[in-house]
Chains A and B, each alone.
Chain A
């Protein structure tokens, strides 16, 4: 029999005490792993999702953190809206002219380059319109560029993929501007799929429903990002829903704009009678607003420059999601982590003291066993090793059980965690923080085993053989 087998037999011999000590250690480790794991998963996910292929978010003046939270994570409330013309500042002169031609707007918009267009040459700007809900999930109005240009994953190189159907188009013959693509969680929890129609509610999940509905044309594959939890709709359709058009004073309109507005209202009325959505005319530029704009500069070095330029604007601000999340982490989460680490150490120390007390209390009963082993030829360091191994066995069994218990609990609570954070942890999603726990427990268990091991080392053989 080797020393490990002997230690295991000792563990079994004192099964009740061993199991209770192991259980107490397992519960301590489970508590610590659960807290640190959830913290780590959420932090990692926040940091990872802070970069989905864009380096800036542009939105109305206000809190840059709030802008980041609502545009990147779809959390918190949108600050306000920006005029659509702010979005057009990211376009070239030709693109702006095309916008004026398509939607109708002041002719002077088409006469110059967008103020920020030079910075994003080779990059992109994607508008987002937020504010509506599909059940508990946010509705995001955007353009097909969202699917074509954004990337996710550890290396930000994975395109969004469709599990069923297709991405929506700028305009389709079948559903006009009223197409939607839903994230995997939305499809699962709302029990919807391709061909289903839904009617967003305005303002919050319990708000009033819009009259116009979107037909789901695609369901995305899971991405592990907040995009799994949104219904993404065509921006043009989003604008056309009741209450989404910005009120305008007709006196400010040019003759061309007045004519375009009258034409759109007529088409809408006819379409309403026909019961279809195909003939809706997109809103005019003056009627349009965006909640935020996801921006990737052509050259990453332009990021700070464009941020400064945008922040000089009286309406808009630019936030760097990575920096905002880091600030949030440093302000709130790092002190929290420090507290958690202190609790971790205390928990592990208490567990180690439990091991010490358990084994030490048993030493008086096993001095005779140790003396017998010594009489059979076991060296002092052999019996010392047996005691240390017994302590480590408790630590390994307790530590691994605690780890499994914690991850089982996290997995079971995955739905709640996802609802709160947008991230669904897997059964074995580990964070870097919990990796320190098992080595720490083992080290402390070895330390706890030292005192009883010293007792074993010093056991008087002749005295205890005849005891």
Chain B
């Protein structure tokens, strides 16, 4: 066990109700850790529970059993508003589909990333982040006026706006054109390194995974997947 771990998962179990009755176990992770500032990639087949794991770490949904601890915060013991505060202050999230708000400019989307964390309303920080992702000149552009790659760069800036300690990136290159994919990965990794932010990136692209020192296959750490695979065989 890594005593300096930022993220510690123990005996995590998540089930979903099935249409025909009963519950399907999609995640059963005995142990998973990520050190502060560490960068890791999580690979796995589509529908293997990667996004569910990220949602659990983000506190967007609750596990049936187990513990998720980020720093000193035990997520499973938090109320919903406590998890909201945790997401606002501790966590950054880059979505596969960017999820920029269409009515807001690039700068406003980045500012939105710090709007819900108390004491972090720093417009200068938002401008610096846009500058870092190369979009200082397009701060007032709406998402519809930006290319797909530019939109994902705004989403990265937004995810880092509130100075999180952990960044979750869910297939960040899945909707980006091939020419921009490497730029996006480089940007995420460099920015996280500069900001001392731990990174857990989910992908199914081996070209992306191969660039990371630590690659975890969800199939290896998820007992539910193994059980399902065993039943299949």
Contacts and interface: CB of A to CB of B under 8 A. Distances in A.
Interface of A: 1-2, 6, 9-10, 12-14, 368-369, 371-380, 382, 461-462, 465-466
A376 B60 contact: no
Contacts of B121: 1
Contact of A13 (B51, B80, B85, B103): B103
Interface string B84-108: 1111110101010001011110001
Interface string B47-66: 00001000100101100000
Nearest to B86: A377
Contacts of B85: 377
6 contacts: A372-B95, A375-B95, A376-B93, A377-B89, A377-B116, A380-B80
Contacts, number: 73
B115 interface: yes
A377 B88 CA distance: 4
Contacts of A461: 60
Interface of B: 51, 55, 58, 60-61, 80-81, 84-89, 91, 93, 95, 99, 101-104, 108, 111-113, 115-117, 121, 158, 162
Contacts of A379: 80-81, 84, 116
Contacts of A376: 87-88, 93, 112-113, 115-116, 158
Contacts of A1: 108, 111-112, 115, 121
A25 B60 CA distance: 38
A131 B113 CA distance: 78
A377 B60 contact: no
Contact of B108 (A9, A375, A462, A466): A9
Nearest to B159: A376
A13 B55 CA distance: 29
A389 to B, nearest CB: 14
Given A377-B87, A378-B116, A380-B80, A372 B60 contact: no
A2 B115 contact: yes
Given A376-B87, A376-B112, 10 more contacts: A1-B112, A371-B99, A373-B116, A376-B116, A376-B158, A377-B85, A377-B87, A377-B89, A378-B84, A378-B116
Contacts of B55: 462
Nearest to B103: A13
A12 B117 CA distance: 25
Nearest to B55: A462
Contact of B103 (A2, A10, A371, A377): A10
B106 to A, nearest CB: 13
Contacts of A368: 99
B144 to A, nearest CB: 11
A372 B159 CA distance: 11
Nearest to B92: A376
Contacts of B80: 379-380
Nearest to B161: A376
A374 B84 contact: yes
Contacts of B104: 9
B99 A465 contact: yes
The 7 closest A-B pairs by CB, nearest first: A377-B88, A13-B103, A377-B116, A377-B87, A379-B84, A372-B99, A1-B115
Given A9-B103, A12-B103, A13-B102, A375 B113 contact: no
A139 B84 CA distance: 78
B129 to A, nearest CB: 14
A462 B83 CA distance: 14
A10 B112 CA distance: 13
Contacts of A13: 102-103
Contacts of A10: 103
A134 B91 CA distance: 83
Contacts of A372: 95, 99, 101
A375 B60 contact: yes
A9 B103 CA distance: 6
